[in-house]
Amino acid sequence: MCGIANRMGNVNDLGIMRWVARLPISFIFIGVWALTACSSSTPSQHIDRSSARSDYGATASTGNGFVASTPIKSPASLYREANVKKSYIPNGRHARKYKRRLDPKYITIHSTQNFSSGADAWRHAKALNAGKLRAYKRKGGNRIGYLTWHFTVDQSVVVQHLPTNEQGEHADFDGPGNNTSLAIEMCEHRGNSRSATIERTAKLTAWLMYQHKIPLRKVVPHYHWKRKGLSKPHKNCPHYLLDNGRPGAKWQWFLAKVNKHYKSITSGAPTIVSPPTQVAAVPPAVTYAPRKVVSRPIATSKPLVRYHTVSRGDTLYSLSRLYNVSVSMIQQANGLGGTVISTGKRLRIP
Ligand SMILES: [Zn+2]
């Protein structure tokens, strides 16, 4: 969840994962993730099989200028293609000690920003089920002391962690993102195919739209949800489906994929009415206001100085994710030559 803005406010979603923190530092990949463009920036072409709504299964011409057609596959077969496996966090334990009812109105897409080796969907399930993904519970921030979300997707499987009628803790604290949306995290560990993960996510998203009657315009990136109280309220998540940190062509490309799958099981466009000549329809979605250019005022007061007392399990890497600063910045601020930090030490966070 990426989005997890709790005390970690500006922290990367899974950045605070203690299980990651416990990994030997050599296992932790701190490389700069190449912000490569998606494998293809061309919206996948699809035949616009119906330019108007039709009843599920309708096959006859309506005589109104369009031909309603039979869906090319059933919702059940799309669900099977997505390959969803359930591994719920144990009922009543860890994050599920807290039950908050969800009536899903939105679907929120995240990416884990967890680049460590083997951080696939099952690995995230294991961490969630063991209560290892802790967050800082505070008023106005994380409400339950844990990070949770509904689905994690990697190149080969979707693992479901929560029933779809329970809220997760992934987007915006007590905001509408957590209160109204289903959350999907896309894995980005080394060796995982990004394009296969995106494709599987698009299938899952389309199936969830169908199941919960959620329109395409309510499929949103984590970016959509404003995290109150943070200097950067709109998170750059999922970063590889955003352009310069905000929804643009790549996000539209992703929505077109989702729409293609949705139409394959419904034969009716969820939100668009396209002229028959239009081949690759880019569906309308939430529109985002142009980025405001804000000139930075000259700082007149001292910058905020933060400190962190090292507790068991902390690593420079986990702290860097927690405070959204680099490992080397923490090293420099504290005169550290290496990566070893001892429990109880008070570190200055730049
Ligand atoms: Zn996120």
Q: What's the confidence (pLDDT) of residue 321?
A: 65
Domain count, the chain: 1
Q: Which CATH number is 206's domain given?
A: 3.40.80.10
Q: What's the confidence (pLDDT) of residue 285?
A: 55
Radius of gyration of the chain (CA): 21
Q: What's the confidence (pLDDT) of residue 210?
A: 97
Distance (Å) from CA 68 to ligand 1 centroid? 38
Distance (Å) from CA 328 to ligand 1 centroid? 24
Distance (Å) from CA 233 to ligand 1 centroid? 12
Nearest to 221 by CA among 196, 271, 255: 255
| Domain range enclosing 224 | 40-296
- Tell me, yes or no, whether 302 lies in a domain: no
Q: What's the confidence (pLDDT) of residue 156?
A: 98
Distance (Å) from CA 124 to ligand 1 centroid? 15
In the DSSP assignment, the letter for residue 284 is -
Distance (Å) from CA 335 to ligand 1 centroid? 32
- Tell me, yes or no, whether 126 lies in a domain: yes
Distance (Å) from CA 112 to ligand 1 centroid? 7
Q: What's the confidence (pLDDT) of residue 17?
A: 45
Distance (Å) from CA 91 to ligand 1 centroid? 24
- Tell me, yes or no, whether 8 lies in a domain: no
Write the pLDDT tens digit of every residue in 163-202: 999 999 999 999 999 999 999 999 999 999 999 999 999 9
- Tell me, yes or no, whether 127 lies in a domain: yes
Distance (Å) from CA 25 to ligand 1 centroid? 24
- Tell me, yes or no, whether 349 lies in a domain: no
Residues of the chain with pLDDT under 50: 3-12, 14-67, 269-283, 293-304
- Tell me, yes or no, whether 204 lies in a domain: yes
Distance (Å) from CA 63 to ligand 1 centroid? 46
- Tell me, yes or no, whether 87 lies in a domain: yes
When the pLDDT of each residue in the chain is averaged and rounded to a whole number, the result is 76
Which residues fall inside 5 Å of ion ligand 1, going by CB?
A: 1-3, 13, 110, 222, 237
Do the beta carbons of residue 43 and residue 280 sit within 8 Å? yes
Q: What's the confidence (pLDDT) of residue 338?
A: 81
- Tell me, yes or no, whether 215 lies in a domain: yes
% of the chain residues with pLDDT over 70: 68
Distance (Å) from CA 111 to ligand 1 centroid? 6
In sign, the C-alpha dihedral spanning 331, 333, 334, 337 is positive
Distance (Å) from CA 60 to ligand 1 centroid? 43
Q: What's the confidence (pLDDT) of residue 15?
A: 43
Whole-angstrom distance, CA of residue 78 vs CA of residue 155: 16
Q: What's the confidence (pLDDT) of residue 255?
A: 98
Q: What's the confidence (pLDDT) of residue 314?
A: 76
Q: What's the confidence (pLDDT) of residue 34?
A: 27
